[in-house]
Amino acid sequence: MYYIVRYTELKSAADMPNSQTHSTKNPKNAHTPSETQSNYVDNSLLFPIQTEVDTQTLEIHEVNTVEQFSKLRNTWNEVLRRSMDDSPFLTWEHIAVSVSDLKKNQKLRILYITCSGKIIAIAPLRQSFHHAGGIKYSVVEPLDYDTATDYNGIILAENEIACLSLFLSYFYRHKDWDFLCINDVPETSSIANILIKNSNLFPKFKIDKGAACPYFKFPDSMDNFLKGLGRNYRKNFARRLRNLSKDHGNVELREYDEIFTLEQGMQIFFDLHQKRWVSLGQKGAFHSTEIRRIFLERAEFFAEKGWFGLYFLTADGKPIAAKYCLKYNNKIYGCLSGFDPSFSQYSVGKTLLMKVVERGIQQGFNEYDFMKGEEVYKFKLADGFRRNLKITFTNSKFSSQLLAIAISAEKTLKIGLLMGKLGRLYRKARLSNARLADTTRSAPE
């Protein structure tokens, strides 16, 4: 299939979605980014995809305001559901909080592609401006990056390869950025698979391995789940639950809407999380009112959609542990948890997790995703893990390429200095051991 490409930059909400467009020439075989500035996406940046289908027209649009983003609410999730990367972290509701919470050094750069007037791909991005050592540079990155999410990505519902190519072509025709970094992309995502399998068709990119994300599939019964954990695990779980009930009364799993309003439940969750981490000498995830606000806003969006799960383990009616989860597309995502450290002898965090697993099996969920983190307790329960990736593109302009070399050299230098320091410590330790051995050999018996 050969694609005719058009694009428009939206200036106001009134432009959506039928903005003025500009046609370009028919696609060519080359895909190397051109250095020429233009208000058009050069089709030479796109590679042709040959099929028996007639030529289609793809239009690319850029969204730069909250008002424009709001206009996409009715169609965003429908596009997401048609993609291979349907997750709560790419929903309009999750992105919305980040859109309204941009920092002073950031601006909105959401792109979407239409075909015959229908949206078929969305790239929820922002541009962040930085300066270090007198050097200014900018990074295009996921809107939710570093704002309480473990998974990012690009939504590709149809014509995936062509749409990804068009997104990249669009940016390579604009020279107002230095790096395009898609952080925390699951290795199973469509964007990762497309780039890895078709690397010769795209501008040069770098992939770095990130955090492991353990998960397990729900069995058909809790008995079968426990059988897979080993005898000692089952025995310890039963003993701790029995002791907790004996010492503190009836132990139950309760969801927030059984005992609290959403805001009340979230405040108790925040407090339990902070108690647990402060007791370990750490500040905890919810040390600031700003972070609490972001989580509360997202919880309100998710609760409205029926995607929110806030679980409490109660002893004699008192919440002693809490787990913040998302329930989406037949999966439970275990985001964050907390517990009262005065109950730590009963392993109430693990007990709560077991109770949530039991509830998940009863409700027919397929998978539990622990998300990022390589804690031992996760891998004791996990069937496997998926790894997140960081995919980086560097602008073809000379200043960006030079900056990339400088950053790489700085990292190499830091590693070199660290290895040098370790080498000196190692040699010093060997010398001390040798002297000690000489002293021992020369000492009187």
Whether 350 is covered by a domain: the verdict is yes
On whether both 236 and 275 belong to a single domain, the answer is yes
Whether 33 is covered by a domain: the verdict is yes
- Listing DSSP states for 355-381 in one string gives HHHHHHHHTT--EEE--S---HHHHHH
pLDDT at 428: 60
First-to-final CA distance of the chain? 89
pLDDT at 132: 74
Residues 304 and 311 sit within 8 Å (Cβ to Cβ): no
Residue 250 scores a pLDDT above 80 = yes
Band of residue 323 on the pLDDT scale cut at 50, 70, 90: very high
Domains: count for the chain: 2
Boundary-marking domain end, from 365, 396, 412: 365
Residue 218 scores a pLDDT above 60 = yes
Tens of pLDDT along 349-369? Answer: 999 999 999 999 999 999 999
What average pLDDT score do residues 315-341 get? 96
On whether both 40 and 117 belong to a single domain, the answer is yes
What average pLDDT score do residues 393-419 get? 72
pLDDT at 444: 40
Band of residue 27 on the pLDDT scale cut at 50, 70, 90: very low
pLDDT at 359: 97
Pairing label, strands 118-123, 155-156: antiparallel
Residue 405 scores a pLDDT above 90 = no
Band of residue 141 on the pLDDT scale cut at 50, 70, 90: very high
Whether 406 is covered by a domain: the verdict is no
Band of residue 145 on the pLDDT scale cut at 50, 70, 90: confident
Q: And the tokens for 248?
A: 């503190």
Reply yes or no: is the peptide bond before residue 219 cis, omega within 30 of 0.
no
Average pLDDT in the chain: 83
Whether 109 is covered by a domain: the verdict is yes
- Between CA 149 and CA 147 the distance in angstroms is 6
On whether both 100 and 181 belong to a single domain, the answer is yes
- Between CA 142 and CA 111 the distance in angstroms is 11
pLDDT at 4: 52
On whether both 78 and 125 belong to a single domain, the answer is yes
pLDDT at 55: 61
Band of residue 175 on the pLDDT scale cut at 50, 70, 90: confident
Q: And the tokens for 225?
A: 């789940």
Residue 46 scores a pLDDT above 60 = no
Whether 8 is covered by a domain: the verdict is yes
Whether 434 is covered by a domain: the verdict is no
Boundary-marking domain end, from 212, 241, 263: 212
On whether both 251 and 347 belong to a single domain, the answer is yes
Listing from the earlier edge strand, what are the strands of the sheet with 56-63? 3-9, 56-63, 110-115, 118-123, 155-156
Boundary-marking domain end, from 212, 234, 259: 212
CATH number reported for the structural domain that contains residue 242 in this entry: 3.40.630.30
- In which domain, by residue range, is 145 found? 3-212
Whether 386 is covered by a domain: the verdict is no
Residue 219 scores a pLDDT above 50 = yes
- Between CA 301 and CA 92 the distance in angstroms is 10
pLDDT at 50: 32
Residue 8 scores a pLDDT above 80 = no
On whether both 289 and 182 belong to a single domain, the answer is no
90-104, 131-145, 359-373, 429-443: which has the minimum mean pLDDT? 429-443
- Between CA 331 and CA 307 the distance in angstroms is 10
Residue 440 scores a pLDDT above 70 = no
Residues 76 and 82 sit within 8 Å (Cβ to Cβ): no
On whether both 101 and 233 belong to a single domain, the answer is no
Whether 375 is covered by a domain: the verdict is no
Residue % of the chain over a pLDDT of 70? 79
On whether both 15 and 52 belong to a single domain, the answer is yes
